[in-house]
Amino acid sequence: MAEDWRLSELAFHILLALGDGPSHGYAIGHDIEERSGGRLDPTTRALYQALGRLTNDGLLAAVDGPGNVDARRKYFALTAQGRRAAPAEARRLDALVRAARKRKLFPEKA
């Protein structure tokens, strides 16, 4: 059976934030806020709920942080499944953009 990835915007941003390696919740939230130009500013609760869902779905795993960090910080990393989900979601979004361009709803040079 093919994996059918349909991620929320927040979930996709979380996967993007972890694309370069493990990180903790605060840094993930900061990355999301920065990448979205402030449009997305996940609350701590919303972020950790999404991190929990993605972990339960097998896209993320809780991992140990670097040796000399605050032990209260929870670190997360992409799993192999998460590394497949991120490009699948990017392809899905790309197909939507191509459809919008075909229908002259989105400019070619955006």
What's the whole-model pTM score? 0.88
Q: Quick check: 1 pLDDT over 50?
A: no
First-to-last alpha carbon distance for the chain, in angstroms, is: 36
Using CA atoms, how far apart are residues 72 and 55, in angstroms rounded to an integer? 18
Give residue for tokens 């701590």: 44
Per-residue pLDDT of 31-76, as tens digits, reads 999 999 988 888 889 999 999 999 999 999 999 988 766 777 899 9
Q: Identify whether the C-beta of residue 55 lies closer than 8 Å to the C-beta of residue 62.
A: yes
Which residues lie closer than 8 Å to 21 by C-beta, 6 or more apart? 77
Q: Which amino acid is at 79?
A: T
Residue 107 has pLDDT above 50, yes or no: yes
4/103: higher pLDDT = 103
